[in-house]
Structure 1
């Protein structure tokens, strides 16, 4: 990553970091998990910074990344599907292991 890109990312974090931290807190309910969610999202953002064409979409990207990470963690911890989602069991073959998978509402197509 180039120096101007690093500086642009640092500027974004200075400008929107507090807001994103509050969003992480709303998702997770505590500051430590909120910080972890934000840090993971920013690590992912750093790798994609140069490919983001619409700079006004950066915050939406980070929020979506944080929400998806929180859902993954929530599923692992609870072993169930998120509210509004249904468990579906894939077809099984004899002797194979099966596990219910969560499927949620499909996003609206544009």
Structure 2
């Protein structure tokens, strides 16, 4: 018996663009699959450097958590500002060092 699911093609499968997941949220969730998909979607500089209410970027969250596999996904983003401080003046490098990463 054939179901509607059998008619699904690759273009019909739900993707990350359907989830309304932002780059910042994917970083905060440490969602490697979402990060990889979002990076391939040609994000804007504003999307890549979006800040949360504390002024932290996605990069800041990943650095403070020490998530090397997630950080490696970001290597090819020339728009990524590695020196954006949060509201307390902490850069991603400082956050990584404070966390012992």
Q: Could you say which TM-score interval applies, normalised by the shorter chain?
A: under 0.3
Larger RCO: Structure 1 or Structure 2 (Cα < 8 Å, ≥ 6 residues apart)? 2
- TM-score scaled by length of structure 2: 0.23
When you count strand as a share of all residues, which structure comes out higher?
1
Q: Which one has the largest radius of gyration?
A: 1
When you count helix as a share of all residues, which structure comes out higher?
1
- TM-score scaled by length of structure 1: 0.22
